[in-house]
Each structure stands twice: as structure tokens, then as C-alpha cells.
Structure 1
Amino acid sequence: MSQLPIVCIVDDDPSVLDSFAEMLTLEGFEPRCFSGPSLLLTFLQQNPNAVVLSDVCMPDVDGMQLLAHLQNLDAELPVVLMSGHGDIPMATQAMREGAVDFLEKPVSPSLLVERLRQAQRQRKWVLARREQQLCQDDKAIVERHVVGESPGIKQLHEQILVLANADVDTLIYGETGSGKDVVARALHDASQRRHHPFIAINCGAMPENLIESELFGYEAGAFTGAKQRQMGKIEAASGGTLFLDEIETMPLTAQIRLLRVLQERSLERLGSTQSIQVNIRVIAASKDDLQRISEKGLFRLDLYYRLNVASLRLPPLRERGDDILMLFQHYCQLAAERFQKACPPIRAHHQERLLHYAWPGNVRELRNTADRFVLGIEGDGFSLNDTSQAIPAPALDEFDQKLEDYERKLIEDSLAAAAGQIGKAAEQLKMSRKTLYRKMKKFQLDKQTFRA
């Protein structure tokens, strides 16, 4: 679901509704105003892609009673409560009964924006998960395997769907731990081969003297210790998919034999001259550019061209934005089921640290972090349970900083020429008033300064 959730504002004071709606519109939200709970509940039944911001002190049905109604409607609907008469017991009760946050009036605009953004992200996770659980088509299979909604992952979903039905040999590129094995499994499960074997072998973890016997099998007496006939991984995958991870580490002798299999779709076991037909799809994964290392003589160029009918590239986790939070939630739920423990709440400071960490180990590191978070233990490297760790926000590089400085100078010059008149400055800059207000807030510019 790409559209951001609507913010439903509930308050019995029309002036308060107008004030919040105007402020949130300028911040890029899509607000809807409700003077009471009945119309809100009707709206939410038809529009689940929403979050709720409600006052506590209202006639007839107050905010706490409304919270109970909303919990009955949808227990995972994010509700932010606010009150001018708030106290600690009230806030504690609200959080215990399901509110995601409790804010005291007058509410700081920056704090409100931050909490509503978090609530929107949470709602997107929930609705995306529900879509994956309800749908059983190929698209749902792919999205269930490859979790995320960032532009790079959405494009990857589409590519997987196309290649799954094309049934061609495929190369998958990505950094260590980025989930190449998960993409390979998605390709298999979304294809017509899904009811046949998916056989995976990690070429980097296999001793060089064993990889050929593992891949191609052998006859009794083919070498010392070969006491009986053994079927190889390629033969076992017939009808289905063979996944070769870290293929760049495969010995050159094995590469020659694999090339023949790909060309002829047949193999000979070690110690045999009998040809065995195999019907397989080969998916190979590598963290290195196979063409580049082939040109250096470290990988057979003819095998690279034979494998490279199609290729997919996985973005590293650090480039996937809010997918980090969605994936962390996903792996926390899996860990909670596996360890039979309740998943701890993921607070705002947890989300900030997750988003600002560089994730050198990619999705594999994130999954380990989720396991430790659910178990409440620390480990080597990044851990949400270690409060002593501070993850600074990434600094802008020199080019981005120059762009920001240039943009700020343009806005300052236009505001000065317009004597602080927002409409005139926005027209000169060819942008909307809303966009100009947002950029002024970003650069901490006050229109009164330019009027003076």
C-alpha cells in the first residue's frame, strides 16, 4: 500500500479541528475532521488506511471510551490521544488500553508531526502484512518472501514476477546478508516449478574436493570412500530449481562440468559415462560482479554468459528506508513465535536507532538483532538492548550540502525581494505556498525577518 494513511482528527471544538487540519496539511498529511465518534467509526469501516488523533475531554463519548470502541473495531489501529488536563495515571491507562501515544496540550507541532509519522508507518506495516496474509496469488507469494515497500523492492517484486514465469536461468547480485537466498526462493515459489524440489548449495561452504561429488553425484568406487551410488544435487533438483549461492567461489573444474549441464541439460555422475537428462532451472547468486572477475580470469566467462540470461540486483538494507522498520517488525514476530515469547513494544527511540544504523550485515544482521531484542539479550555489534550505543544520524556529503546551501540561498533571496510576502515569493520560486512553508521550516527561516 503506497498511499500514506489518512489522519482522522476528533474534537468537539470546531476551531481546534480547523487549527490542527491546517497545520497538518502544511506538514504534508491528509487530515479528515470529525466532531464526534459515530461518523468516525463509519468512515473507518470503509477506509482502514488511517490513524486517529483524538481529544480526551469530549461530551457524550470521551476519548477513552472512543479508544475502547476503536479497539473493538480494529485492535491494531494507531490512536494518539491528547488532553489539556492530562496526568500520569491517565496517560498510563491510555497506553495500557491500546493508545500508541498520549500528548498533553498545548501540543508541540514538531512532536505531534513526529508521533503521527510513526503511527502512519505502523499502520502501513499492519495493512501490508494483512494483504500478504489474505492473498494467495503469485504477487502475494513474492511480497511475503521479499518484505518491503521501498521503490527498489517494489521494482524487484515486479522483476521476480516476470522472471518466475519466464523459467530462465538467473543471476542474483547483492551484498553479503542482503537476502539473495530469499529472492531465489521467491522465484521458485512463484513459478510453475513450485511443487518440485528447491535444492540449495552454498559453493563457498563446500570443500573444493567435495563440491563436484555433491553437485554431480558418483558411482560406487568412483574414488576412495565411495562405497555406493550417490545422487548429486543437480539430479535431485530435476523438475525444480537448483540454487547455487556464492557461485564465484566454485572451482574452475566444477565450472566446466556445470557449463556442460547448462548447455545440454544432462550430466554424468563421477565414475560413470552414462548421460542422465535433467530438467532444472539454475539460479546463481554472487556478491561480486561475475563479468568483472571473469575478465580477470577468476571465473569462466562462457559460464557467466550462459548463466546471465537474466539478472536481479538487491539493494543493500541501508538504501531501503522504512523497509528497515517493516522487516524488523516481521522478524520480531517470527522470533516471538519461535521462542514462544511476547514481542516487546518497538518504541520511537528504537525506530530512530534502527533507521540511523548503517547495517553492514544487511538483512541477516537485522534478523539477528530482532532475535536478541525479543530475547532481551545483548550480543556483538548493534543491539537495541544496549542503551549505551549511540548511532549518530548520517551527515550530508559535500555535494548534498552544496545543493542544500544553494536552495536555502534561493529562498532567502526570493523572500527578501518579496519583503516576506509568502504568496509573492512562492510565485517567484514557482512552488506552492505549502511547499515554501515546508522548506522555510526546514531551513528555520522566519518571514518576519524579511519584512523587517
Structure 2
Amino acid sequence: MPNTIRILAVDDEPVFRFLLEKQLRDIGYTVHTAVDGLQALELLEQQPIDLILSDLVMPRMDGLALIEEVQKRKAAPPIIVITAHGSVESAVEAMRRGAYDYLEKPYQPDDLRITIKRAIDYQHIVRENEQIKGLLSDRYTFQSVVTVNAAMKQVLELAARVAAARQTTVAIYGESGSGKEVLARAIHFAGKGLPAEFVAVNCAAIPEHLMESELFGHVRGAFTGADRDREGKFSLARKGTILLDEIGDMPLALQAKLLRVLQERVFEKIGSNTPIPVSCRVIVATNRSLAELVAAGRFREDLYHRINVFPLTIPPLCQRKDDIPILCDHILEQLRQHLGKPLPGISPQAMEVMLNYRWPGNVRELRNCLERAAILTDNELIRPAHLALAGASPGAAEPAADGDRVSYHLSLSPEELSLDALTEQILDVTLQRCGGNKSKAAQLLKVNRKAFYRA
């Protein structure tokens, strides 16, 4: 099967250009050539190009100027810079401006082949993810964060302001399940011109001896078992966003290296002395107090001040209970599509239970609770017995057992008082007391089990 990849080779030296063209054709690529940046731009106007290999020093328009012009184009092809030995600083500058990677002359044919393959694979992934990107950008926006709470609205306003400042490190604080990653993604997709690369790293889930390689990558032979080069998360994020979640659990030794990355905006793979520029936005998140960790000597103070440039604190759900009804509506709408059930809604008694509950797991726990309740319901209102919240107050009606006798403390208003309302509440609280077991509840009340389906 013929290779359909089209490569544009740009170099002002005829001999090198000829040799490069031959190498590329031998691999199987379709090759076009240009003597400088201006001719390269003319060729880009005439035909589609999948990748550009370019020298840096050329007459009329050099490689850096070519990179800047190509980056202005929609769906710009990746650019690999080929530079003379000893010009690493120039190559790093080229990557700062948007080049994918660079090769030093003289290079090995295998290095050329591998670098091109990586760039092409990366471009394919970007193109395939364009549709996903559109879906995610609609889902993760500040407008998609459901809230009526004043404190939460202020957090969103601050996040919207910092979204345009890509070089500013953002620190997001909040309890587990409060939506830190959702907010980080909203910041990412709100940034102008950001591609779909959002890379989340859970610092608490990676073994300490693997974390440096996970973040920065390594070269072949860097340590025992490193049989090939490996890209780290910072490389994968590229011009997107890297989220360092649970930053408080990062080992102290690695904190020093992260501080250098944030200050100098470069990093090095394990086993390499070649600096690689950091072009991604950095967001950190934690459910712990970094200030307390600093005081305890478990977090570097200089790193704390470096990442705490723009702090955002998400209030826990227990401090914004005015959001619970609107969040329930939003989650139920998603569950209707996910489960294919009508899900009429939530009973007043169940809503009261939720409003009185502490929600230690925050919005994540609320969603999980409603998903379980939605599965248990049979096209009926969600009732307290469906919620299964440990230690939750049963709300408007609460049973108190004494042997085989059960007393009920009801709080119906005179306007609500009716035989049907009383019956419904008695069935609800008895079912809750029996842990959702309809047969046991029916036996306790001495009624037919079907009564619980009609209620």
C-alpha cells in the first residue's frame, strides 16, 4: 500500500536537500522541496502538506519566521527543525514558537524515521480528536457549571478571568468530589486557541520511583528497563493544559524539579541534558491545605508560593445547599438519557433528606446517590428509601420502633394533610426503615407488597 504522507523539506543547501529528499522517498513518503521559507509558504498554498522538515538558517525567510507563519494557519502541519550541531538553543527557541521537535545534523536515519513517525501519529490523534474536542468544549464550559450559589459564581468569574493567561499557574482547592477537574477543564477550553490536549495526572496514584518518568519522560538506556524513549505528561500536554491533581502528595525530591520547570519553563527527560520548553498551561489541584503541609515540612515553601499565584477555592456542597435542587434537575436530565427512563423527579420528602445531609463526597456523591436511586425507581418519584444515605435524617417523616410497634412523627401542614399523603409518608418511612425491602415493609405494616408500587 503506497504511503500517502506528504512531506515538505525546506533547506537552502542543494546537496543536503537532495540527500534528505532521497532518504524520505526511500522510506516511502511523498516529498516536496523548497529553498527557503517564502517558497515553502507558496507550496503550502498550492497543495496539502502533512509535515514540514525545515532548516533554521536560510535566506529571505528563515526557519523561525516560517514556523510563526505556519502556526497562523488553520490545521497547521507539524514542523520538525533540522539544525546544525551545537545550535540546541536555537532549536529550543523554535519549539517555543511552535515546532514539534528538532534533529541535530548529522542525524541517524533511524532518528529521522522515528521522529517523523511520532509527529505524524501525533497529528493524526489531533485530527481524530477534533470532534471529541467540540463535544468536550461544549460540556466543560463555565456556563455548563450548574450553580445559583453566590460564592460559586464568584469562583467561576475569577476562573474566566485567568483562562486567557496561559502562563499563569492556577491552584484549585476543594474537597474530594467538589469538581476541581471540571473547573480545570473549563479553564482549559475557555483559553483562546487551545487544542484538545488536556492531560490530568493524579500525583497520589503514581509510585514515587515512577513519577519523574511519568511527568518528564526518559530516553532509551536512562535506567534499567528503559528500552525505548518515552514521552512524559508535560510533552503530551504540549500547547494544552496539564493538571497536577493531589499536588500535596508529590514527593519532596520531585517538588524541587517541578519548581525549576515552573520558573524556567523547560524540563529534561531522564537521561538527557537537552532542555525541552514547557508550552502548556499548568493547573494544580488539592483537597489538602498546602499551607499546613508547608508548616509541617512536607511541602516546599518556595513551590507553594510559585503555584499559589492564582488560587481558586471551590466551596463544599454543604456550604452551597441552594445548589442541590438545580444540581438534582441537571443530573436527572443526564440520567434520563443514560438510563432511558422517564424519571419523573424527586419527592419533597427525599429532597428534604438531601438538603439536611452533609454530603462529605460533594457533587460526586450526589450524582452517585441519584444514579443509584434512578436505577431503583420504577417510573416513580425518587423517595427517601431510594437514596440510601448513611446517617441522613429521614426528613419530614421519621419512624421510631418499639418492638413490633412503630410510631411515626409526621410534619404535614394542614393544607397537605390527607389520607393519601399520610399513607404515602407511612409507606416511605417504613420502606426506609426496612432498608428498601418491600416484602419486609409490607409484613411490618400488614399490607400487600403491591402497595409500595402504587405509592
| Runs ≥4 residues deviating over 6 A | 136-140
Output one character per residue of 1:139-178: Cα deviation in whole Å (capped at 9) or x when no partner.
Answer: 992020x221111111112111111123311111111111
Q: How much has 1:331 moved relative to structure 2? A: 1.9
For the pair 1:384 / 2:386, whether they are aligned, the reply is: yes
Return the alpha-carbon distance in structure 2 between the equivalents of residues 388 and 188 of structure 1.
36
Q: TM-score, normalised by structure 2?
A: 0.52
Contact 1:265 1:280 in 2 (8 A): no
Partner in structure 2 of residue 202 of structure 1: 202
Instruction: Indicate the residue corresponding to 2:250 in structure 1.
Output: 250
- Take 2:389 and 2:171, find their aligned partners in 1: how far apart are those partners? 41
| Structure 1 unaligned residues grouped into runs of 5+ | 1-135, 395-452
Equivalent position SS for 1:221: coil
Name the residue aligned to 1:350: 350
Map 1:46-85 → 2, pairs under 5 A: none
1:151 corresponds to which letter in structure 2?
A
TM-score between both structures, scaled by the size of structure 1: 0.53
2-structure distance, mates of 1:296, 1:313: 22
Partner residue of 1:33? none
Cα separation, partners in 2 of 1:283 and 1:155, compared to 1, 3 Å: same
Work out whether residues 172 and 314 of structure 2, in 8 Å CA contact, stay in contact via their aligned partners in 1. yes
1:247 & 1:193 partners in 2: Cα distance?
A: 27
Q: Aligned pair in 2 of structure 1 residues 390, 164: CA closer, same or farther (>3 Å)?
A: closer
1:199 is paired with a residue of what secondary structure?
A: strand
Alignment of 1:430-445 (within 5 A): none
**How far, CA to CA, are the matches of 1:192 and 1:300 in structure 2?**
32
Please give the alpha-carbon distance, in whole angstroms, between the structure 1 residues aligned to 2:283 and 2:232. Answer: 17
Distance 1:205 1:277, change over 3 A: same
Counterparts of residues 12-91 of structure 1 (less than 5 Å): none
After superposition, give the CA deviation of every residue in 1:45-87 in whole Å (9 maximum; x if it has no partner). xxxxxxxxxxxxxxxxxxxxxxxxxxxxxxxxxxxxxxxxxxx
The 3 A distance-change label for structure 1 pair 278 and 386 is: closer
Q: Percent same amino acid at aligned positions?
A: 44
Please report how far the alpha carbon of residue 190 of structure 1 lies from its aligned counterpart in structure 2 after TM superposition: 1.1
| CA distance in structure 1 between the partners assigned to 2:203 and 2:175 by the alignment | 16
Quick one: distance in 1 between partners of 2:137 and 2:227?
Answer: 46
- Residues 263/309 of structure 1: CA separation in 2 closer, same or farther (3 Å cut): same
CA distance in 1, matches of 2:385, 2:172: 29
Corresponding letter in the other structure for 1:273: N
State the distance in 1 between where 2:339 and 2:150 align. 33
Structure 2: how far apart are the matches of 1:255 and 1:387? 39
Match of 2:153 in 1: 154
> Does 1:297 pair with 2:297?
yes
Pick closer, same or farther for the CA change 1:237–1:192 going to 2, 3 Å: same
Cα separation, partners in 2 of 1:301 and 1:329, compared to 1, 3 Å: same
Residue 167 of structure 2 corresponds to residue 165 of structure 1: no
Residue in 1 that maps onto 2:65: none
2:213 corresponds to: 213
SS in 2 for 1:270: coil
Please say if residues 342 and 374 of structure 1, whose CA atoms lie closer than 8 Å, have aligned partners that are also in contact.
no
The CA deviation at 1:195 is 2.2
- Is the aligned partner of 1:224 residue 2:209? no
Counterpart AA for 2:279: N
The AA in structure 2 aligned to 1:339 is L
* Conserved? CA contact 2:332–2:345, under 8 Å: no
Residue deviations 1:305-353 (CA, integer Å, cap 9, x gap)? 1111100001000111221121122222223322333324212112111
Q: Distance in 1 between matches of 2:233 and 2:330?
A: 32
Distance in 2 (alpha carbons) for counterparts of 1:155 and 1:139:
20
Distance (Å, rounded) in 1 between the aligned partners of 2:323 and 2:147: 5
Tell me the residue number matched to 2:273: 273
Give the RMSD, CA atoms, in angstroms: 2.8
2-structure distance, mates of 1:271, 1:386: 53
Distance 2:273 2:306 in 1: 24
Could you say what secondary structure the match of 1:185 adopts?
helix
Q: Quote the offset at 1:385 in angstroms.
A: 4.2
- In the alignment, the residues of structure 1 paired with residue 373 and residue 195 of structure 2 have an alpha-carbon distance, to the nearest angstrom, of 36
SS at match of 1:166: coil
Supply the distance in 1 between the matched residues of 2:386 and 2:163 (Cα, whole angstroms).
37
8 Å Cα contact 2:160/2:187 also seen in 1 = yes
- Structure 2 residue runs without a partner (length 5+): 1-135, 378-383, 397-455
Amino acid aligned to 1:207: P
Shift of 1:386: 4.6
What's the counterpart of residue 72 of structure 1? none
* Structure 1 residues 371 and 137: CA distance shift in structure 2, 3 A: closer
In structure 2, distance between residues paired with 1:201 and 1:164:
20
CA–CA distance in structure 2, aligned partners of residues 140 and 230 of structure 1: 30
Q: Which has the larger radius of gyration?
A: 2
Counterpart Cα distance in 2 of 1:250 and 1:152: 29
Distance 1:333 1:137, change over 3 A: closer
Say if 2:362 is the partner of 1:362: yes
Distance 1:388 1:289 in 2: 27
Match status 1:185 vs 2:185 = yes
Q: State the SS of the aligned residue for 1:165.
A: coil
Change over 3 Å in CA distance of 1:342–1:393 after alignment to 2: closer
Q: Is the 8 A contact 2:171 2:284 kept in 1?
A: yes
Q: Secondary structure at the match of 1:258?
A: helix
Inter-partner Cα distance in structure 2 for 1:209 and 1:327: 41
- Residue 311 of structure 2 aligns to a residue whose secondary structure is strand
Q: CA separation in 1, counterparts of 2:250 and 2:200?
A: 14
- Check whether the contact 1:344–1:374 (CA below 8 A) recurs between aligned residues: no
Residues 369 and 387 in structure 2, CA contact (< 8 A), matched pair in contact too: no
